[in-house]
Amino acid sequence: MTQDLPRRIIVGLSGSLESFTALHRAVAEARRCGAEVLAVLAVPPTAHTPEQVVAERQLGERLLSSLLEDAFGAAAPPGVRFSAVSLLGGAGPVLTGVADREGDLLVVGAPRRRLRFPGTSTARHCAARATCPVLVVPLPFAAAVPAGPQTTATL
């Protein structure tokens, strides 16, 4: 039975509410089954020179540090083996490229409903192309429902 449990949980991190929800779910799953967590930030490349590539990698590392501090404070989440990496590339291809081992589980946030570009989400890409199981984590209901206009009754 333990061979069916993931040994490594890869989670996509972008700074969105969806990715923070996925990150916390990945940590909870890792605590439950004793897996390690690898948080991955994909930075779309725009560089054309080696100096620009170095600058983009450094920017990705700084952004990753900031996102992890927002998620967990100054320390890594307690009770799990945790690491993080920033890689250049599109989110879907980067995540499916990293989650390539037997025993991996890929965790991503569910996309919000989009009317303009349906079917272009990272979650869809990963679910269609990953070679390991993919867990798509929805937002909690309260966070998923946009706040409507406030109405107040006047007497």
Domain extent at residue 30: 8-141
Section 124-145 average pLDDT = 85
Residue 108 lies in a domain: yes
Q: Is the pLDDT of residue 112 over 80?
A: no
Report pLDDT digits (tens) over 14-66.
999 999 999 999 999 999 999 999 999 999 988 789 999 999 999 999 999 99
Q: Is the pLDDT of residue 117 over 70?
A: no
User: What is the CATH number for 80?
Assistant: 3.40.50.620
Section 63-90 average pLDDT = 93
Residue 114's pLDDT band (cuts 50, 70, 90): low
The least confident of 30-39, 58-67, 119-128, 144-153 is 144-153
When comparing pLDDT for 110 and 149, which is higher? Answer: 110
Residue 146 lies in a domain: no
Query: For tokens 């706040």, what's the residue?
Result: 147
**How many domains does the chain contain in total?**
1
Angle between helices 122-129 and 91-98 (to 10 degrees): 40
Residue 132 lies in a domain: yes
How far apart, in Å, do the first and last CA atoms of the chain sit?
64
Residue 45 lies in a domain: yes
Residue 62 lies in a domain: yes
Report pLDDT digits (tens) over 83-94.
999 999 999 999
Residue 147 lies in a domain: no
Query: For the purposes of burial, counting CB atoms within 10 Å of the CB of 57, is it exposed (0-12), middle (13-18) or buried (19 or more)?
Result: middle
| Model confidence pTM above 0.75 | yes
Residue 20 lies in a domain: yes
